[in-house]
Structure 1
Amino acid sequence: MKLNVTAQDVARLARVSQSAVSRTFTPGASVSEETRNKVMLAAQTLGYRPNALARSLITRRSRIIALVMSYLENQFYPLVIEKLSQKLQKQGYHVLMFISDLDEADAVLTEILQYQVDGIVMASTTLSTALAKTCADAGVPVVLFNRVPDTSALARHSTSSVTSNNYLGGRMVAELLLERGYRRLAFLAGLENSSTNQERERGFNDVLEEAGLAPYRREVGHYSFSGAQEATRKLFCSGPYPDAVFVANDHMAIAAMDVLRLELGLRVPEDVGVVGFDDVPQAAWGSYRLTTVVQSVEDMVSATVDLLHEQMQGEVNSRNVIVPCRIVERDSVRLHPSPDTAKSHQ
């Protein structure tokens, strides 16, 4: 048996053309079941394994998608990695993952392009105008996941994005809290320059303004657990305390609930209502039972993969997809306005 079995050897044994062998090992390619069985039997007999690198030189497609993450502390993003990787792998692609600090994305992308990837997904981070141009010139489509492109014309033109309807989500949170009788509503922000944070806060504030109210207090948690703990202490450093807090994501909301209950001795939801955003698995744990805005990972991943395919095939220009969201109610917001609150607003 040869040590380096080629596709020609497999074709000769299976009595098919070399192109039939190639199609058999190309995901999505058209080949009859009879031909596929012949080729697979011959390949197994000879111990043949297709050479992905050699095939990429011929097709000029690496079938590699680069995934860039800025941090994994937020429990939402491990779910994204799992679902995105599974979906791409089923379609014959492989995921090459890079971890980047928020201020090092450009350096990481420069390295990524050396791998001749077919596409790039950037989750929880953004793309500079300079790198947007570099990727566009190289013909490599970029999809931002849970972020929107830079405001520059070039970045908007060359970069697609997938987000939840963050603005509507923020509106739904404010409407729910007001309907349940909360009036001193605070906002615990993530990152100031994050498009997701900005849209969630804008929707939240718009509803308060329509109700003749203003945000009672505001602090920034930087999307980190310890940052959210410290921000919560600042929100509740003096009375009268906020009676509800909208937290920009679940990761920080869980940290906030720990401080409220374990350090400050406050009851959730009787003394303070708490609402998060994402609906990570931990939000449903019995210790938290967090009311939160659901971002559909499945729908967001499907939209991301569809955008990648469209742009890799050159079918459409870049575009931004907004996925619907909804609130799931658990136990961190009271079911009805308290009697005292109801009387004070009659």
Structure 2
Amino acid sequence: MASERITSLQVAQRAGVSQSAVSRVFTPGASVSKATREKVMRAADALGYRPNVLARAMITGKSRIIGLVVAYLNNQFYPEVVERLSVALQDKGYHVLVFISRNTAADVQKVMTEILDYQVDGIVLASVSMSSELAKRCHEHGIPVVLFNRVQDDPGMSSVATNNHLGGRTIAAHFAAAAHRRIGYIAGMEQASTQRDREAGFREGLREAGLSLAARELGNFEYGQARAAALEMFAGRDFPDAVFVCNDYMAFAVMDVIRSKLGLRIPEDVAVASFDDVPIAAWPAYDLTSYRQPINRLVAGTVDILMRRIEDRDAAPEHVKLDGELMLRGSTINAGES
């Protein structure tokens, strides 16, 4: 037979304090004296008491839960994002529920319906798009949403992202300065704002240098498709002498193909640059020039906006773009230039 559940009233009686004092001790951010906290914690430990989070959520209307939705975890950038966002939100006294979405309209709809069933206090969408219908539904429920590393045309959606356009332009300028003239691009998912903005910035940077894109293939942010794209782009004799790959995860596949399948040298035959600067990019096996996303500032900005919107549901939406930094390494010519 299960043991009897210890109540907050029993803890209060043992500690010699009011039941409301016990509640304040177990409420993140609530005001309570050090002496009261110590008495309550001693009594709770002795009795084996743990607060009923779900019951408290029903009473207060606040679950202290944040829904975190990611499209994929095979890209090395996102496990780090999930970890840092989770830690930052836990430091604010929130529990994090992680959901994986395939980023299709139907799947996002399904996942978001599940999240709303948990009566979450807020939602972070990491590289997941939301339909206007779902955005409206969240607004009607008073649930704030922040897009991480993604922007949408809807001005009512708060977002925090790297300046992807600037990153693309910076890589184009780097290639131009290294005297590359036949330049290729391997794209991510066409509908993703990160893909769209990085390519637009890259093309603009090429135009500013008097250059144009010589070759383009689609990698869809997938390792296998990026390999196929590289085989298509570099199999002929008139292949590019430099290629910008939309993210590091695909760039690793492209570099593997260039070296292992095609027998070409990096950077002597083909210079390779990418975007994200995940830790593996700095490994000697890749030594990849990559535009670093400012992940700590992205996480801090996301959490700050979310907290403000939880406190004030009528707060105006915020749109933040943060500049990153091109990390020059051995996969491009003149990697040591300033």
User: Where on the TM-score scale, by shorter chain, does this alignment land: which range?
Assistant: over 0.9
**1:69 pairs with 2:70:** yes
Deviation per residue, 1:292-323 (Å, 9 max, x gap): 00012211111111111011111621111112
- TM-score of the aligned structures, taking structure 2 as reference length: 0.95
Distance apart, 1:127 and its partner CA:
0.3
Distance 1:276 1:291 in 2: 6
What letter is aligned with 2:320?
A: V
Match of 1:143 among 129, 142, 146: 146
Distance apart, 1:213 and its partner CA:
1.3
Match of 1:108 in 2: 111
SS of alignment partner, residue 102 of structure 1: coil
Match of 1:6 in 2: 7
Match of 2:216 among 208, 215, 218: 218
Match of 1:266 in 2: 264
Match of 2:79 in 1: 78
Distance 1:264 1:23 in 2: 65
Distance 2:63 2:267 in 1: 52
**1:313 pairs with 2:311:** yes
Match of 1:324 in 2: 323
Distance apart, 1:87 and its partner CA:
1.2
What letter is aligned with 2:160?
A: V
What letter is aligned with 1:108?
A: V
Deviation per residue, 1:152-179 (Å, 9 max, x gap): xxx321x211110111111110111111
SS of alignment partner, residue 143 of structure 1: strand
Distance 1:217 1:316 in 2: 45
Distance apart, 1:102 and its partner CA:
1.6
* 1:187–1:215 CA contact under 8 A, matched in 2: yes
Match of 2:126 in 1: 123
- Unpaired stretches in structure 2, ≥5 consecutive residues: none
What letter is aligned with 1:333?
A: T
* 2:328–2:335 CA contact under 8 A, matched in 1: no
% same residue: 51
Deviation per residue, 1:213-237 (Å, 9 max, x gap): 1111111100000110111112113
- Unpaired stretches in structure 1, ≥5 consecutive residues: 338-346
Distance 2:196 2:181 in 1: 22
What letter is aligned with 1:134?
A: R
Distance apart, 1:336 and its partner CA:
7.1
What letter is aligned with 2:301?
A: A
**1:28 pairs with 2:26:** no
Distance 1:55 1:15 in 2: 22
Match of 1:342 in 2: none
Deviation per residue, 1:25-75 (Å, 9 max, x gap): 111222111111111111112221111011111211101111111211111
What aligned pairs does 1:136-215 form with structure 2 within 5 A after superposition? 136-149=139-152, 151=153, 155-157=154-156, 159-215=157-213
* 2:122–2:306 CA contact under 8 A, matched in 1: yes
What letter is aligned with 2:180?
A: Y
- Runs of 4+ aligned residues of structure 1 deviating over 4 Å after TM superposition are none
